[in-house]
Chain A
Amino acid sequence: MNATSWVRRDLLGIADLSAAEIELILDTAESFREVSERPIKKVPTLRGRTVLNLFFEASTRTRSSFEIAEKRLSADSVNFSASTSGLKKGESLIDTALNLQAMSPDLIVIRHAHPGVPHMLAERVEAGVINAGDGAHEHPTQALLDAFTIRQHKGGFEGLKVSIIGDIEHSRVVRSNILLLTKMGAEVTVAGPRTMMPVDVESLGVRAVYSLEEALRGTDVVMMLRVQLERQAKMNFPSVREYFELFGLTRARLKAAKRDVILMHPGPMNRGVEIASDVAEGKYSVILEQVANGVAVRMAVLYLLSGVHQEVG
């Protein structure tokens, strides 16, 4: 597959993508990576295009990453933030969408606390829609940047052992990563407390284990997940101290993994909760590379979805 055969206008989830489309996004990101290393980090690719960043949920990393990607492609980007609480009623969401559509944006990047909102938006607006995270459902660009990072280090996915550890139930990153990695032929293991494991998780084509040691044994890639401290009040775990005892990643525990293991985290990290500081900053960590790669991957997604590659002249 090459860019000319890309016809998709929205990126709502990894669920919709074929392996060939995923490869194309990663290959395209490869060519954009170099832009961020130039002294003048800008190409005219999306000049005259308008991108709306619509964040109904707080985000620093993802929003900045999209914004930088847009600016490096010379798109005009507009940010729109609203706390979900202020716009709880769906009428407002539909009306917001229609109002935004009236301003003729080319692409809308949306994050929302509720699953399915990007899908709903995509049905109503002409603009292409990029899901920047919808509740615990999907976060496709995160999975793509994770895949990009894994491919850089491991060369490919076939037979690769990837272990994702933490709050599996409430994580959109996990769902998108499971979909992507299994499509690409990796073997995915998920691990965490049973109280934060969604029901029937194995129907997604993964192995579920309930001890950190078992998850780490012989693995090529370790992906740690943020544990939200408010989960404690919802009976998901008794205390931070005990969580770290059972599922916190330490240097000693990481020894069970393969010698060339890479350690990932989608951020933001809770040091001392799911991961010890020395491991997060240690030699296996590729956490900051993930962030850097995020910009290139989002540039690739914006470029492909904008349709500019298909325009003549």
Chain B
Amino acid sequence: MRLLIRGGHLIDPGQELDERLDVLIVDGRVERVGKDLKPGRHGEVLDADGLIVAPGLIDIHVHLREPGQEYKESIETGTRSAAAGGFTAVACMPNTTPPNDNRSVTEHIVKEAARHGYARVYPIGAISVGQKGEQLAEIGDMVGGGVVAISDDGFPVMSPELMRRALLYAQHFDIPVIQHAEDLGLGADGVMHEGEWSTRLGLPGLPGAAEDLMVARDLRLLEETGGRYHVAHLSTARSLEMVREAKSRGLAVTCEVTPHHLLLTDREVFESGFSTHTKMKPPLRSEADREALLGGLEDGTVDAIASDHAPHHVDEKDVEFSSAPFGIVGLETTLGLCLDRLVRPGRISPYRLVELLSTGPARALGVPGGRLAPGDPADVTLFDTKRQQTVNPTRFQSKGRNTPFAGWKLRGRPVATLVDGRRVELR
């Protein structure tokens, strides 16, 4: 099987390439990258004229809900959603039912993902048994089953002792510890960012300080333990500043931000009239926080953009704001939003975007990808920076419809998604 991606503009931060180059794929792997390549005998050609060709996009923070919550999403629909959104790989969080805190669940996820084959799935194992924050899960066994990182996402690791042990123990397997950084002892009943808009709306606030306290604590522990620490969905200016400072001291810390924290603020809760699609954790923050996160994209402090794809059933979200579950979907909107709202206005270059959506996430988790060098698996995303789309949740491949971006007109969208050289997107 030979496939030539011809005439596209290749952006490959893994090899520091940013020019018009062809990519020849043979039997699911990259054979050559160069100018004016020939497909060879019986080779197919994928015309990429006018398109960007990038190493496959990787979303390192999604919730596939399987096992146990298939009414929200399944591995099949979640990975279809990934493929449709231009993602060739996702890393899924362990807060399923039962949670991914043991090898049998890990293996189920890996097997199901392989069976459907829309996108690679890297399971993230739980830090603690039952994500209860008490006892370490069998991390080594899970790594044997395919886990690439550990996290109790959704349930912050409140115990400093447990976090210390996790940071130490994870080093045996060279995997990062991912923290949902939120000190639950502060503003625990909050439902939106604490600030002017929570005051106006009379909704209990989630203070930015709750995130900052946790990041500060964990960075201090990281100094003691060594190891790798990753801040999930970082959302405040102060936390970003602490990560920046820690990186400058050489600590092995990485962080991700979400498209919604880059594009929306707490004012949206008011503007949308209490729409539960503006309710997520961390909450939409202030304009100053949003601006700081954009600065983090520009100066390199942020390692990855991740969607925190969190599908919920329509009935679960169709309730009073205070009672609704936290979270929105993102796999099918991330690329379009980033192209239209970050690249088009010139906040970041297309090259930096590919770094944030592919090379950076691969490095943060230590998974393959983010590069199209000869011999690499041919995971490729082709996208068009000019083609228009209107976000229409009823046409999502995901079971989730919970997005605050419905109706947004975006310039830029994925065109083709290849995993092992095979087109997986459904259009």
Contacts and interface: CB of A to CB of B under 8 A. Distances in A.
Interface of A: 15, 88-91, 93-94, 112, 114-117, 119-120, 123, 134-138, 172, 175, 198-201, 203-204
Given A116-B273, A119-B274, A199-B194, A138 B320 contact: no
Contact of A89 (B200, B207, B319): B319
Contacts of A137: 201-203
A204 B199 contact: yes
Contacts of A175: 200, 202
A91 B315 contact: yes
A204 B200 contact: yes
Given A116-B273, A137-B201, A175-B202, A200 B196 contact: yes
Contacts of B392: none
Given A115-B322, A120-B320, A199-B205, 11 more contacts: A15-B200, A90-B318, A114-B320, A114-B321, A115-B274, A115-B321, A116-B201, A117-B320, A136-B203, A137-B201, A175-B202
Contacts of A200: 195-196, 199
Contact of A116 (B198, B207, B318, B321): B321
Interface of B: 194-196, 198-203, 205, 207, 273-274, 315, 318-324
A2 B202 CA distance: 32
Nearest to A91: B315
Contact of B322 (A94, A114, A123, A203): A114
Contacts of A15: 200
A93 B319 CA distance: 8
A69 B180 CA distance: 52
A198 B201 CA distance: 11
A116 B320 contact: yes
**Taking each of A112, A116, A198, which has the highest tally of chain B beta carbons within 10 Å of its own beta carbon?**
A116
Nearest to A15: B200
Contacts of B324: 90
Contacts of A204: 196, 199-200
Across chains A and B, which 5 residue pairs bring their CB atoms closest together, nearest first? A90-B319, A116-B274, A136-B202, A137-B202, A198-B199
Contacts of B201: 115-116, 137
Contact of A112 (B194, B207, B320): B320
B283 to A, nearest CB: 13
9 contacts: A89-B319, A115-B322, A135-B322, A136-B203, A172-B202, A198-B205, A200-B195, A200-B196, A201-B199
**Taking each of B196, B200, B207, which has the highest tally of chain A beta carbons within 10 Å of its own beta carbon?**
B200
Contacts of A198: 198-199, 205
Nearest to A169: B199
Contacts of B315: 91
B200 A199 contact: no
B192 to A, nearest CB: 10
A8 to B, nearest CB: 16
Contact of A91 (B205, B319, B321): B319
Nearest to B203: A115
Contacts of B207: 199
A203 B199 contact: yes
Contact of A120 (B200, B202, B203, B274): B274
Contacts of A94: 318-319
Nearest to B323: A90
A199 B320 contact: no
Given A88-B323, A115-B322, A120-B320, A138 B202 contact: yes
Given A115-B322, A116-B321, A199 B203 contact: no
Nearest to B324: A90
A207 to B, nearest CB: 15
Contacts of A203: 196, 199
A181 to B, nearest CB: 15
B71 to A, nearest CB: 14
A90 B199 contact: no
Contact of B202 (A88, A90, A93, A115): A115
Contact of A199 (B199, B273, B321): B199
A115 B273 CA distance: 10
Contacts of B203: 115, 135-137
Nearest to B269: A116
**Taking each of A90, A93, A172, which has the highest tally of chain B beta carbons within 10 Å of its own beta carbon?**
A90
Contacts of A172: 202
Contacts of B195: 199-200
A101 to B, nearest CB: 16
A199 B207 CA distance: 10
A199 B205 CA distance: 9
A94 B207 CA distance: 30
Given A116-B274, A120-B274, A199-B194, A93 B199 contact: no
Contacts of B196: 199-200, 203-204
